[in-house]
């Protein structure tokens, strides 16, 4: 049996040989020379939604001939304008949900986590907002039972399936459940996306989209028909990069989304992302599921805790502003929350490597945030690095235990330093970040079975997880499975930290660069 730390691989084979770079946060606009009244200022998403609503009201049969496309666009085109992307299909009628569950394939996790680039929520422009911090809503929702429902009046979409998706019908069915989110603070503004999840006007988005509101700011939600509402932050969770908002004085005609089951998702099935990239509300992109259980680590800035998830990887285009938006299956059910992408450089944008937080994790965290304003996470009680283990004539990647916290679930189960964890339940573990992501998807009290290589033997250990401490200290023994700082599980310092601005740029320089990219 051999246990060796994972070494950087030559020839560009390591995922981090091409370091990821932070993208410009979102499509907020810089202040003009003569600053308008902030109360009258509309974001690009709001302008687009207002224009789109006006076009719908102008003619039920679509855009009038010669109509310009987009708010503020000039006319001059001949013939009929672009077709309404949200036009309903004759097949968009409700049907009974499909029966049975598809078996989940054995999916190999990567040896090292992908350093994801957050695609929303950054502060890029300065303007004035006089409102103070938004208070969290501690009241328990009356609609917690609705979280996880699998159908609505529009979903599942009749005539659309994974074998033959009807994206026009799906887009028409889910359009009203997707919202554009804007946060305004004294330091600047940011934009993102969200999805309505229940009849009590709760909206799920990414924590990094609305984190600036905690320091004082205003959050507004724009519905697909252009109506704008104030929203308050119910709760946020840094560990999973999820947040829940509640629309204040919400209308009675909100249409919550139907939530699917991410355990049923399979590699290769078609998916559709809907969101607010670069302020372009109601943008639809499609693709397939590229991989499952992809360990992805994201970090808003150097001071914040890294969010680690076993994400759904997709090739649908995701860009700044898509953060917090829903990822739908072919029948219109939410299967994930888009949150990050991988890039080769700050110029590359979307390269077909997008990541979504699985909806089952979202359901768990959202229910806790609605009920208590905060979420609890499972705790194992070890620090680890990436490595390999050889036993039974096979060599596998795994998480090498560096230390075990006294009195932790790991200690009670008999885990020891230099044990190599190669599987959790039926899921293979590709490294330290992979195991961390699996543990964070579980709940306190869950019983799991770890497959461990010790010496030249393989054994199974049963572990009952406990609740992760609210504040973990810098002592390695207090970490919940995150890689030992400075070890190979920390990527060995390769690449650029996800919280650093590329090339040491200031926010103002980054905004100037972002503007230049849009001129091509």
Active site residues: 208, 241, 323
Residue 517, phi-psi category: left (phi > 0), alpha (psi -120 to 50), beta (remainder): alpha
Q: How far apart are CA 110 and CA 9, in angstroms?
A: 14
Residue 1's SS3 state is coil
> Could you identify the residue written with the tokens 């060796």?
4
Q: How far apart are CA 184 and CA 200, in angstroms?
A: 24
**230, two tokens:** 């104030």
Q: How far apart are CA 312 and CA 264, in angstroms?
A: 12
Q: How far apart are CA 136 and CA 154, in angstroms?
A: 32
> Which residues is 157 bridged to in the sheet?
94
Residue 502's SS3 state is helix
With a CB cutoff of 8 Å and minimum separation 6, the contacts of 252 are none
**Contact between residue 376 and residue 440 where contact means Cβ atoms under 8 Å apart:** no
| β-strand pairing of 202-205 with 307-314 | unpaired
Q: How far apart are CA 358 and CA 350, in angstroms?
A: 20
Residue 55, phi-psi category: left (phi > 0), alpha (psi -120 to 50), beta (remainder): alpha
CA 375 to chain centre: 16
Residue 85's SS3 state is coil
> Could you identify the residue written with the tokens 């259980």?
293
CA-wise closest residue to 181 among 293, 291, 45, 69: 45
| β-strand pairing of 420-424 with 394-404 | antiparallel
176: which DSSP letter? G
């Amino acid at each position: 049996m051999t246990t060796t730390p994972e070494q950087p691989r030559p020839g560009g084979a390591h995922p981090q040989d091409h370091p990821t770079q932070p993208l410009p946060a979102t499509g907020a606009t810089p202040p003009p020379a003569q600053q308008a009244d902030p109360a009258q200022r509309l974001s690009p998403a709001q302008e687009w939604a207002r224009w789109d609503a006006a076009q719908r009201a102008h003619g039920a049969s679509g855009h009038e001939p010669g109509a310009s496309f987009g708010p503020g666009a000039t006319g001059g085109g001949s013939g009929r304008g672009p077709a309404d992307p949200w036009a309903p299909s004759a097949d968009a009628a409700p049907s009974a949900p499909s029966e049975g569950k598809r078996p989940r394939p054995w999916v190999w996790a990567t040896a090292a986590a992908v350093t994801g680039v957050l695609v929303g929520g950054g502060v890029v422009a300065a303007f004035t907002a006089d409102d103070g911090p938004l208070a969290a809503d501690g009241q328990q929702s009356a609609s917690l039972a609705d979280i996880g429902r699998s159908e609505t009046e529009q979903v599942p979409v009749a005539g659309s399936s994974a074998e033959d998706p009807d994206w026009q019908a799906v887009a028409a069915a889910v359009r009203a459940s997707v919202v554009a989110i804007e946060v305004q603070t004294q330091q600047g503004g940011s934009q993102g996306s969200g999805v309505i999840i229940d009849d009590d006007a709760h909206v799920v988005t990414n924590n990094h989209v609305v984190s600036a509101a905690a320091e004082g700011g205003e959050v507004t939600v724009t519905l697909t028909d252009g109506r704008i509402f104030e929203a308050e932050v119910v709760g946020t969770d840094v560990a999973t990069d999820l947040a829940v908002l509640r629309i204040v004085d919400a209308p009675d005609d909100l249409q919550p989304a139907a939530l699917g089951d991410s355990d049923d998702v399979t590699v290769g099935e078609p998916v559709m992302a809907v969101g607010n990239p670069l302020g372009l509300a109601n943008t639809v992109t499609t693709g397939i599921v590229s991989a499952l259980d992809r360990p992805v680590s994201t970090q808003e800035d150097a001071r914040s805790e890294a969010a680690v998830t076993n994400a759904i990887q997709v090739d649908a285009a995701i860009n700044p502003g898509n953060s917090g938006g829903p990822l739908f299956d072919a029948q219109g059910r939410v299967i994930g929350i888009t949150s990050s992408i991988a890039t080769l450089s700050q110029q590359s944008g979307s390269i077909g490597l997008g990541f979504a937080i699985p909806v089952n994790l979202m359901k768990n965290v959202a229910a806790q945030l609605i009920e208590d304003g905060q979420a609890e996470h499972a705790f194992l009680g070890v620090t680890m690095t990436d490595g390999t283990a050889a036993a039974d004539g096979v060599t596998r990647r795994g998480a090498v235990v560096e230390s075990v916290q006294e009195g932790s679930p790991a200690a009670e189960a008999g885990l020891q330093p230099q044990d190599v964890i190669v599987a959790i339940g039926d899921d293979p573990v590709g490294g330290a970040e992979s195991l961390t992501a699996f543990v964070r998807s579980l709940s306190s009290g869950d019983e799991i079975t770890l497959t461990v290589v010790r010496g030249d033997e393989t054994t199974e250990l049963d572990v009952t997880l406990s609740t992760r401490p609210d504040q973990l200290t810098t002592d390695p023994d207090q970490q919940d499975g995150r890689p030992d700082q400075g070890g190979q599980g920390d990527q060995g310092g390769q690449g650029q930290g996800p919280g650093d601005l590329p090339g040491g740029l200031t926010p103002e320089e980054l905004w100037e660069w972002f503007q230049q990219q849009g001129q091509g």
